[in-house]
Structure 1
């Protein structure tokens, strides 16, 4: 059987693995929970700094001990921050490691500190502020602030109380020092265990790989497998039995694989639009493309289609040329309305302010075009651009005749951290007034995104917003590409009819 070496995340120690470890042992596996120095482990002599190298040494000591004992193959599991010392140790003992398991963690890169993987911008700023002071560590979260690190979905009150009571300050050096990798660990088999309650899913990883993100495209390899767990960021506490089963399967090489991108299988975002649309020519100016009705007589209403994201900066073609968006733009142009697509700068979850600025500039450019009726414009958002709706919901301009959104993200996903109140459609919708809203909801949406949609709808209904929901019961995220059936086609037609009605009333 395998020997599991378990490395815990920020502020936590070996105790978080107790229930999972017991189940692994009962299954005949060996288990070694690493006591990271300062995090439930030994304290160094006074005045000794604790940094990432200290924690890498802690993991190496356990790996070497297991190797000397002559046990089974070592499966190295890193949760959250723990993947950084785990990967650093695997890079130096690659010959001793059978598999690395990334448990709801990022993908650390050479030269990048662990702090870069912390999604919550406020927590990153607090860490840097603490580093500028005299302190050597970051205080652990209070009971109600663990959500800054990830979703607490599935945690009982008792588990959250224990997590808080046994938490340790995080030594600042462990977060600020760069991780040094030679590349040896990159050749090892790996398994990603994604917690869907924390906003992650295999479908999302596949989509990002399809978009051309280099670090994720490399995961479409036979030696890489994935599992999903329907829980929050601490599965060893919220689902220890399920996690133990998953780790045993991972050790056996099981799991789902990503589908490599090739010419015979275009990724979802590059598949043909599901409806026949007229061949309206594209006019490109800067970041903005216009599809002007050929038979237009005088200024026409316009619909601005706003792509989702985050989209890697290196993605080609860029979103304004994706068939879904050009399909919608040509479709409305066939109805006498100017269709607009654009590229905005949402390349990471830290880029929402830039994307909002790009969108505002594009809208003004469109409204200034003499072929556009500046008083009759609709905005139509997709997927991750849903958070950008907040600016327009909070202060709807009189020329905005309708706001639509397809399978939108309407609140930051738990693993995105906090983006501030500006990008909170749930809060902003109370000020939308009589602005007509159209929301196209995918019935088979991923759990994390579906939860944000339901939260938004609850807020919209509570304040009496004028909202119409178009349901696609058997549709997935980007249903126009992945579910091009008659139900999806009718949903697109119905949503377009509704938006155009509000533009022309």
Structure 2
């Protein structure tokens, strides 16, 4: 079985996977949710983009993991994609959950759908942090009021440097064994960069009829998809 290292998106920590973990462990996998520097219980610690990449690599090496499935959700697809290529033969697969993907020399902000300045300006105005998730951000994303309250209540300000510093890749991302999970309520098609990557023989696409935070809205379904991804590629 596989060793899952799971990283949630902006504002969130390891706790975001709490309802996904039991299903994977019941299937026999090792599961290691990870909080990135500056978030949740690590709030207040300085972090840049490469800090988050190193967080992931260090966790795999600290635990001596092999047959690793790296899971990155939303923003965290960027550090997860970079970490994946640094794990060598420890990596079994990388799974991007409705996420951004890294491009060498580009940042999360440079791919922001409204344009870079629309993200970088409020970060500057908020002391270098991306303000936490709100209930309005969760509207129409297949979450109950209780699920929305949980995600909003646990959200912490996100270190802005992790969003504005560029990714560093040493080889094409399409060469990695990867699965992209597209959550259809957050847009019916992946972005153009992901569409291009899905042309690779190493990449697979899976869809979920839910919103951008499936670990809250459909945790059992997500756990099942992750299990099948690990055992079947």
Normalised by the size of structure 2, how large is the TM-score? 0.90
After superposition, the Cα gap between the structure-2 partners of 1:214 and 1:177, relative to the gap in structure 1 and judged at 3 Å, is: closer
Other-structure match for 1:465: none
Say whether the 8 Å CA contact 1:37–1:50 is kept in structure 2: yes
Other-structure match for 2:137: 145
5 Å matches for 1:300-315? none
After superposition, the Cα gap between the structure-2 partners of 1:225 and 1:91, relative to the gap in structure 1 and judged at 3 Å, is: same
- Structure 1 gaps of 5+ residues are 255-505
Say whether the 8 Å CA contact 2:174–2:197 is kept in structure 1: no
Other-structure match for 2:13: 13
Other-structure match for 1:478: none
The SS at the match of 2:101 is: coil
The SS at the match of 2:199 is: coil
After superposition, the Cα gap between the structure-2 partners of 1:165 and 1:56, relative to the gap in structure 1 and judged at 3 Å, is: same
The SS at the match of 1:231 is: coil
After superposition, the Cα gap between the structure-2 partners of 1:223 and 1:15, relative to the gap in structure 1 and judged at 3 Å, is: same
Say whether the 8 Å CA contact 1:127–1:172 is kept in structure 2: no
1:136 shift after superposition: 2.2
In the alignment, the residues of structure 2 paired with residue 214 and residue 37 of structure 1 have an alpha-carbon distance, to the nearest angstrom, of 27
Where has structure 1 moved over 4 Å in runs of 4 or more? 131-134
- Structure 2 gaps of 5+ residues are none
1:130 shift after superposition: 3.7
Q: CA RMSD in A?
A: 2.3
Structure scoring higher RCO (CA < 8 A, sep ≥ 6) equals: 2
In the alignment, the residues of structure 2 paired with residue 62 and residue 236 of structure 1 have an alpha-carbon distance, to the nearest angstrom, of 21
**Residues 43-100 of structure 1 deviation map (CA, whole Å, 9 limit, x = unaligned):** 466xxx411111111111111123x2xx551000110001011112112223321111
In the alignment, the residues of structure 2 paired with residue 32 and residue 175 of structure 1 have an alpha-carbon distance, to the nearest angstrom, of 24
1:166 shift after superposition: 0.6
Other-structure match for 1:105: 99
Other-structure match for 2:23: 23
Say whether the 8 Å CA contact 1:8–1:79 is kept in structure 2: yes
After superposition, the Cα gap between the structure-2 partners of 1:184 and 1:98, relative to the gap in structure 1 and judged at 3 Å, is: farther
The SS at the match of 1:19 is: coil
After superposition, the Cα gap between the structure-2 partners of 1:219 and 1:158, relative to the gap in structure 1 and judged at 3 Å, is: same
In the alignment, the residues of structure 2 paired with residue 183 and residue 41 of structure 1 have an alpha-carbon distance, to the nearest angstrom, of 33
Q: Which has the larger radius of gyration?
A: 1
Say whether the 8 Å CA contact 2:71–2:97 is kept in structure 1: yes
2:226 aligned with 1:236, yes or no?
A: no
**Residues 253-311 of structure 1 deviation map (CA, whole Å, 9 limit, x = unaligned):** 34xxxxxxxxxxxxxxxxxxxxxxxxxxxxxxxxxxxxxxxxxxxxxxxxxxxxxxxxx
Other-structure match for 1:64: 61
2:158 aligned with 1:166, yes or no?
A: no
Say whether the 8 Å CA contact 2:210–2:217 is kept in structure 1: yes
Normalised by the size of structure 1, how large is the TM-score? 0.43
1:5 shift after superposition: 0.7
In the alignment, the residues of structure 1 paired with residue 18 and residue 145 of structure 2 have an alpha-carbon distance, to the nearest angstrom, of 17
1:187 shift after superposition: 2.0
**Residues 12-66 of structure 1 deviation map (CA, whole Å, 9 limit, x = unaligned):** 1111100001111111111111110111242466xxx411111111111111123
After superposition, the Cα gap between the structure-2 partners of 1:155 and 1:31, relative to the gap in structure 1 and judged at 3 Å, is: same
Residue of structure 2 aligned with 1:198, choices 149, 166, 186: 186
The SS at the match of 1:252 is: helix
1:141 shift after superposition: 2.6
Other-structure match for 1:93: 87
**Residues 362-418 of structure 1 deviation map (CA, whole Å, 9 limit, x = unaligned):** xxxxxxxxxxxxxxxxxxxxxxxxxxxxxxxxxxxxxxxxxxxxxxxxxxxxxxxxx
In the alignment, the residues of structure 2 paired with residue 29 and residue 117 of structure 1 have an alpha-carbon distance, to the nearest angstrom, of 34
Say whether the 8 Å CA contact 1:98–1:188 is kept in structure 2: no
